Amino acid sequence: MTVFTALLSHYRRHPWQGAALAILMLLATALWTGIHHLTSQARDSLGQSERLVEVREQVQRVDGAELTVEDFVLLRRQGLCVMPWLEVLPEGESRRVIGVDPLAALCFQGQGDVATFDGQPLVGQPFLDIADAAALMAAEQQLFLILAAGEGPLPSAYRTAPFALSPDTGQLGDSFLLNLDALSVLVLLITGLLLRSVYLLSLSQRRDSFALLTRFGVSGRRVRGHLLLELLCLAAITLIPGIWIGQALASVLEGGFANVMEGLFDSRQLATGGNHWLVPALVMTLLLLAVAIVDWLMPMAACAMPGSRLRPAAAALLVLAGLAGVWLADALWLLFVALALVLAGIGWLMPRGLSLLSGAGVRASAQPGWRWWWAEFGVLCRRLALPLVALQFSLAMVLAVQALVITFEDTFDRWLGQRLSADVYMQVPDGADSALAANWLTEHLPTADEGLWHHVQRGSGRFRYTQAWQDVDVFAVTPVGPLMTGWGLLEQTSQPWQKLASGAGIMVNEQLAYRLDLSVGDQLELVLAEQVQSLPVLAIYPDYGRPAGEVLIAGQSLPADYDLTFESFSLSPASVSLQTITGALRTLWGEPALTIRDNRAIQDLANRVFEQTFMLTRAMTVLTLALAAVALLLMGWVFLSTRLWYFRLLEVWGMTKAEIFRKLLLLALAVTLSAAALALPLGVGLTWVLVHRINPLAFGWSLPMAVYPVFWLELLALALLIGGCIALLMRRQLGRPAVRPSVTGSVTGEER
Partner 1 sequence: MRLRWLTMMLVCGLLAGCSEPGTDAGFAGLGGAAGPEDGFEQPGPGTELVFPRDFGPHPAHRIEWWYLTANLETDAGEPLGLQWTQFRQAIKPRDLETEAPDPSGWPLQAAWMAHAAVSYREQHWFGERLARGDLGQAGATVEPFQVWLDHWQLTTGDSPDDWQVQVRHGQPDTDDYWAFDLELTVRGAPVAHGVSGFSAKSASGEGSMYFSLVDIEVTGQVRLGRETLPVRGKAWFDREWSSQFLKAGQQGWDWFALHLDSGDKLMAFQLREQQGQFRSGTWIPVGGDPMALAPGQLQLDPDISAGPVPTRWRLTVPDHGVDLMLSAPPGNYTNDGLYPYWESPVTVTGSHTGVGYMELTGYSGQ
3-state class of 475 per DSSP?
A: strand
How many residues comprise the chain? 752
- By beta-carbon proximity to partner 1, the closer residue of 115 and 233 is 115
Q: Which is nearer to partner 1, 68 or 577 (CB)?
A: 68
Distance CA 381, CA 376 (A): 9
- Nearest approach in angstroms of CB 130 to partner 1 is 4
Q: Give CA separation, 339 vs 63, 283, 404, 456, 690, in Å.
A: 53, 21, 17, 44, 11
Reported as type and span, the H/E element at residue 463 is: strand 451-465
Look at residue 544 and give its three-state secondary structure.
coil
Strand pairing class (596-598; 56-61): unpaired
Compute the least distance from the CB of residue 86 to partner 1, in Å: 7
Q: What is the amino acid identity at position 285?
A: T
Which CB sits closer to partner 1, 57 or 751? 57
Which of residues 126 and 505 has its CB atom nearest to partner 1 in the complex? 126
Could you tell me where the DSSP H helices lie in 614-735?
Answer: 615-642, 644-652, 657-688, 695-698, 709-734
Query: What are residue 526's DSSP bridge partners?
Result: 463, 533
Shortest Cβ 107–partner 1 spacing (Å)? 7
* Least distance to partner 1, CB of residue 42, Å: 23
Query: What residues pair up with 103 in beta bridges, in sequence order?
Result: none
Pick 95 or 515: Cβ nearer partner 1: 95
Could you give the CA distance from residue 500 to residue 496 in angstroms, rounded to a whole number? 6
Q: Judged by CB, which is closer to partner 1: 135, or 601?
A: 135
Which stretches of the chain bind partner 1, using CB under 8 A?
68-70, 72-73, 76-79, 84, 86, 99-104, 106-107, 111-112, 114-115, 122-124, 127-135, 150
> Buried b vs exposed e over 88-109: b needs ≥16 C-beta within 10 Å?
bbbeebbbbbbbbbbebbbbbe
Name the residue nearer to partner 1 (CB basis): 134 or 578.
Answer: 134
CA distance 272 to 594: 39
Cα distances (angstroms) measured from residue 703 to each of 91, 486, 491, 492, 542? 35, 18, 14, 17, 9
* Burial (0-12, 13-18, 19+ Cβ within 10 Å), 346: buried
Nearest distance from residue 30's CB to partner 1, in Å? 31
CA distance 416 to 544: 9
Helix (H, G, I), strand (E, B) or coil at 589: helix
Distance from C-alpha of 648 to C-alpha of 645, rounded to nearest angstrom:
5
Q: State the minimum distance, in angstroms, from the CB of residue 129 to partner 1.
A: 4
CA distances from 355 to 362, 371, 378, 639, 644 (A): 11, 14, 5, 17, 21
Q: Which is nearer to partner 1, 103 or 601 (CB)?
A: 103
Q: How far is the CB of 248 from partner 1 (least distance, A)?
A: 25
Q: Which is nearer to partner 1, 132 or 604 (CB)?
A: 132
DSSP β-ladder status, 127-129 and 97-100:
parallel
> In the complex with partner 1, which residue's Cβ is closer, 68 or 495?
68
In 365-384, which ranges are continuous DSSP H helix? 368-383
Nearer to partner 1, 102 or 503 (CB): 102
Nearer to partner 1, 115 or 286 (CB): 115
Closest CA to 4 of 204, 211, 289, 229: 229
Please report how close the Cβ of residue 52 comes to partner 1 at its closest, in angstroms: 15
* Residue placing its CB nearer to partner 1 in the complex, 82 or 537: 82
Q: Are strands 468-478 and 550-554 parallel, antiparallel or unpaired?
A: parallel
CA distance 484 to 539: 13
CB of 111 to partner 1, least distance (A): 5
β-pair partners for 26: none
Least distance from partner 1 to the Cβ atom of residue 524, Å: 38
Q: How far is the CB of 127 from partner 1 (least distance, A)?
A: 6
**Closest distance between partner 1 and the C-beta of residue 270, in Å?**
15
In whole angstroms, how close is the CB of 91 to partner 1 at the nearest point?
17
Compute the least distance from the CB of residue 122 to partner 1, in Å. 7
Q: What is the DSSP string of 78-131?
A: TT--EEEEEEEEETT-SSBEEEE-HHHHHHHH-SS-SSEETTEE-SSTTEEEHH
Alpha-carbon Rg for the chain in angstroms? 32
Tell me whether residue 123 or residue 139 sits nearer to partner 1 (CB atom): 123
